[in-house]
């Protein structure tokens, strides 16, 4: 039997009781067939065990000063649970107790903190033992023996590959990191990267595949086309050379059966000014399907032309099916910061529902040429607002109302896709609006796609830089480069709800239900309810009829009834769970639900170092 069939069967068997891939299956549906915990008994869940990493994250992240979130989504395969920390440490635990089995620290002594979303697992092939693959904050890919945690000697150089080689050679001081788990296809490990968002020149964001046994490079997909490659004419002459950004910093997903890997490609740098990169800028802001064995382009769909908003696709593409007119269509879903949901045919990249090009505002920044139209799906409807008036402003407290009105009166806004201008501008939703890297979960029985979203705007203006600066204009504001449309309490300036959990019927393109997600404790005490809360972290769905999600900045972990959106269970955590939970069956026959509760992140939540597991008594 060919090895890739063995690999496919292995993943399928483990998926029945374990959580072997970041998205549970290679296509990222985040759906578990476990049903021991269901709508009737979920209220009996209690803490089964707690693990402390010993690393309470702190310091400054890439978006300004904040404690770094603990974003890991662990894997469970067989009798081992694997997780990563914000210093790239990899840890193995006993799934039923949280007892530490081994740890590997690729950065002894530490080199700061950064969000790290997890690791990948390769089951081996009979001759080669199982491996855990993990990227590091200093740009290495490491292969560990899954049983011992020791680096694999035959992989690269003593178990590691220097990923900077070949893409960052000309920029030795520039940041280059791997913060999301790589994708696995047959005997390939496919890796993206996190690269600088400013200035415009720096390391390439290419996606590469390496032989999982030897670590040798197998293929390289140029996210900014080289001379003679398709898409080069979408860049102003001379603007492609050394262009950074255009990277797959989030998670990739794999259609194992069809041999496709799906890449959510990020924005070209600099994110907010494109006067030095006029054109559509392929493959920036694209969902790209490539042949997983060869790296050859199959198709692409650009979600934002000539991005000026940092509207890169942040979430893993989810591979689902859509039933229309008696047909079952293999589809891929990409949710976005704009609050738009793109559902495309997985084989062709063509929209399942019409996506017209809509005229959008022009830029008033000298030298900038905003693209005149942007794609806006006709279905599903937008999940986040894109316009706001003074009548829409929050009045949750007199102080908040006064602050937000004064701020709003200083701002200019022209609806969806307003470019940051020479005057202080409101963009809605902002970089923390809509759907984030949290992504989706999908219940194929109900046909519902679950998406958590934010209602958070952004504030900024473009300021001319001194002659000879790396970029001609930079985004700025009195509150910094990445200012949000919120008050000093970090309460958004428009009326609640500020966070939502949405269920979309993918077969009709309509919203099945929508409920506020989260509470604001200080406002609850004042009698202000159903505010929802800003959130980052994903959901999972189970055959027990439940959707589990933490995500919110209120330090809660929740379960909702999948069919109705009714909140059926809530528990307080040590800190906010800005991560995606998992569920698995222990060897003792118990179903566990687990979340990383590390706080931190963009919303000012107090940090912690907890992995919390829950089960029925």
Spatial CA neighbour of 403 closest among 356, 459, 357, 358: 459
**What pLDDT is stored for residue 59 in this prediction?**
41
Number of independent structural domains in the chain = 1
Between CA 448 and CA 197, with CA 285 as vertex, the angle to 5 degrees is: 120
pLDDT digits (tens, 9 = 90+) for 309-341: 999 999 999 999 999 989 999 999 999 999 999
Rounded to 5 degrees, φ, ψ at 404 are -70, -35
Q: Quick one: pLDDT band at residue 60, thresholds 50, 70, 90?
A: very low
pTM score above 0.85: yes
Q: Please, which residues have CB within 8 angstroms of residue 5's CB and are 6 or more apart in sequence?
A: none
Q: If pLDDT is split at 50, 70 and 90, which confidence band does 63 have?
A: very low
Q: Give the SS3 label for residue 398.
A: helix
Q: What is the pLDDT of residue 112?
A: 73
Token pair recorded at residue 543? 């055959």
- Chain mean position to CA 114: 14
Name the 3-class secondary structure at 44: helix
Is residue 64 scored above 50 in pLDDT? no
Measured CA to CA in angstroms, residue 610 lies from 82, 270, 575 at distances of 14, 36, 8
Structure tokens that stand for 382 in this block: 């937008």
Query: Would you call 364 exposed, middle or buried from its count of C-beta atoms within 10 A (0-12, 13-18, 19+)?
Result: middle
Per-residue model confidence as pLDDT tens digits over 93-132: 999 999 999 999 998 866 678 889 999 999 999 889 999 9
Confidence of residue 66 (pLDDT cuts 50, 70, 90): low
- pLDDT category at 10 given cuts 50, 70, 90 is low
Q: 328: domain range?
A: 3-615
Is the pLDDT at 187 greater than 60? The verdict is yes
Task: Please report the pLDDT score of residue 55 as a whole number.
Answer: 87
CA-nearest of 79, 83, 77 to 118 is 83
pLDDT of 91 higher than 90:
yes
**Cα dihedral sign, 241-242-245-247:** positive
pLDDT digits (tens, 9 = 90+) for 384-427: 999 999 999 999 999 999 999 999 999 999 988 999 999 999 99
CB proximity list for 237: less than 8 A, separation 6 or greater: none
Closest by CA position to 240, among listed 201, 272, 285:
201
Whether residue 300 has pLDDT greater than 70: yes
Q: Taking residues 356-369, what's their average pLDDT?
A: 97
pLDDT tens figures, 569-608: 999 999 999 999 999 999 999 999 999 999 988 887 788 9
pLDDT in tens, 536-578: 999 999 999 999 999 999 999 999 999 999 999 999 999 999 9
pLDDT surpasses 70 at 24: yes
Q: Which residue has the tokens 């006067």?
A: 275
Evaluate whether 155 touches 122 at the Cβ level (below 8 Å). Answer: no
DSSP helix/strand/coil, 221: strand
Question: Phi/psi of residue 533, each to 5°?
Answer: -150, 145
Backbone phi and psi for residue 10, each to the nearest 5 degrees, phi listed first: -60, -45
Distance (Å) of CA 373 to CA 5, 16, 280, 343, 386:
44, 45, 11, 19, 15
For 228-251, what is the mean pLDDT? 97
Is omega for the bond preceding 380 within 30 degrees of 0, making it cis?
A: yes
Name the token pair of 211. 């032989």
Helix (H, G, I), strand (E, B) or coil at 288: strand
**Alpha carbon separation from 303 to 296, 439, 473 (Å, rounded):** 20, 16, 24
Contact 374, 357 (CB under 8 A): yes
Q: What is the pLDDT of residues 256-271, one digit of tens each?
A: 999 999 999 999 999 9
pLDDT at 606: 83
Per DSSP, what are the bridge partners of residue 49? 613
pLDDT greater than 80 at residue 6? no
With a cut of 80, say whether residue 9 has pLDDT above it: no
Which residue do the tokens 């081994």 mark?
A: 102
- Reported as a single tens digit per residue, the pLDDT across 31-54 is 999 999 999 999 999 999 999 999
Q: Are strands 341-345 and 425-427 parallel, antiparallel or unpaired?
A: unpaired
Distance of alpha carbon 388 from its chain centroid, rounded?
26
The two beta strands, 90-93 and 80-84, are: antiparallel
Cα–Cα distance, 193 to 451 (Å, whole number): 25
pLDDT at position 111, please? 63
Tell whether the model's pLDDT for residue 22 goes beyond 80: yes
Task: Using the structure block, give the residue that is written with the tokens 């960052």.
Answer: 168
Query: First and final CA of the chain: distance in angstroms?
Result: 43
Q: Are 311 and 338 in contact (CB under 8 A)?
A: yes
Do 576 and 554 touch, CB atoms closer than 8 A? yes
**What value does the CA radius of gyration of the chain take, rounded to a whole number of Å?**
23
The domain that holds 263 is classified in CATH as 2.140.10.10
In eight-state DSSP terms, residue 201 is B
């Amino acid at each position: 039997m060919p090895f890739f069939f063995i690999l496919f069967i292995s993943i399928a068997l483990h998926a029945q009781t374990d959580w072997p891939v970041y998205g549970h299956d290679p296509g990222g549906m985040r759906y578990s067939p476990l049903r021991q915990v269901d709508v009737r008994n979920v209220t009996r869940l209690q803490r089964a065990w707690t693990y402390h990493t010993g690393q309470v994250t702190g310091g400054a992240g890439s978006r300004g000063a904040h404690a770094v979130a603990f974003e890991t989504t662990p894997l469970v395969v067989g009798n081992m649970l694997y997780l990563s920390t914000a210093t790239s440490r990899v840890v193995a635990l006993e799934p039923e107790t949280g007892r530490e089995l081994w740890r590997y620290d690729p950065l002894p002594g530490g080199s700061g903190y950064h969000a790290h979303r997890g690791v990948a697992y390769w089951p081996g092939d009979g001759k080669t033992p199982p491996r855990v693959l993990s990227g590091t904050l200093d740009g290495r890919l490491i292969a560990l023996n899954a049983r011992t945690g020791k680096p694999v000697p035959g992989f690269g150089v003593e178990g590691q590959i220097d990923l900077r080689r070949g893409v960052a050679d000309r920029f030795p001081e520039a940041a280059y990191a791997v913060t999301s788990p790589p994708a696995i296809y047959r005997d390939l490990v496919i890796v993206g990267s996190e690269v600088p968002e400013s200035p415009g020149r720096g390391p390439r964001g290419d996606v590469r595949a390496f032989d999982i046994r030897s670590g040798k490079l197998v293929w390289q997909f140029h996210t900014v086309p080289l001379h003679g490659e398709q898409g080069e004419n979408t860049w102003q002459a001379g603007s492609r050379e050394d262009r950074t950004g255009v990277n797959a910093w989030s998670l990739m997903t794999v259609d194992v059966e069809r041999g496709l890997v799906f890449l959510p490609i990020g924005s070209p740098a600099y994110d907010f000014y494109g006067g030095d990169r006029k054109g559509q800028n392929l493959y920036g802001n694209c969902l790209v399907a490539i042949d997983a064995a060869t790296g050859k382009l199959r198709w692409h769909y650009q979600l934002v032309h000539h991005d000026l908003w940092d509207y890169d696709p942040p979430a893993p593409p989810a591979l689902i099916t859509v039933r229309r007119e008696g047909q079952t269509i293999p589809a891929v879903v990409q949710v976005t910061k704009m609050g738009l949901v793109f559902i495309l045919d997985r084989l062709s990249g063509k929209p399942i529902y019409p996506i017209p090009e809509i005229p959008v505002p022009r830029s008033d920044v000298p030298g900038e040429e905003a693209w005149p139209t942007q794609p806006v799906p006709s279905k599903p409807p937008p999940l986040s607002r894109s316009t706001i008036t003074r009548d829409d402003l929050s009045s949750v407290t007199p102080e908040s109302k006064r602050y937000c009105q004064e701020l709003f009166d200083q701002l200019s806004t022209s609806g969806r896709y307003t470019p940051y201008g020479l005057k202080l501008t409101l963009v809605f939703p902002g970089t923390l609006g809509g759907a984030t890297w949290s992504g989706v979960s999908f219940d194929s029985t109900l046909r519902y796609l679950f998406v958590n979203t934010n209602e958070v705007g952004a504030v900024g203006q473009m300021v001319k830089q001194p002659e000879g600066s790396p970029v001609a204009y930079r985004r700025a504001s009195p509150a910094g480069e990445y200012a949000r449309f919120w008050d000093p309490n970090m309460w958004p300036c428009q009326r609640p709800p500020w966070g939502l959990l949405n269920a979309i019927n993918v077969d009709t393109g309509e919203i099945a239900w929508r409920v506020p997600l989260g509470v604001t404790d200080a406002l609850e005490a004042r009698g202000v309810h159903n505010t929802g809360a800003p959130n980052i972290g994903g959901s999972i769905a189970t055959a027990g009829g439940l959707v589990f999600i933490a995500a919110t900045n209120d330090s809660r972990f929740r379960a909702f009834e999948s069919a109705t959106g009714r909140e059926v269970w809530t528990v307080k955590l040590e800190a906010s769970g800005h991560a995606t939970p998992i569920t698995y069956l222990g060897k003792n026959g118990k179903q566990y639900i687990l979340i990383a509760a590390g706080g931190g992140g963009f919303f000012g939540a107090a940090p912690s170092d907890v992995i919390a597991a829950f089960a029925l008594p």
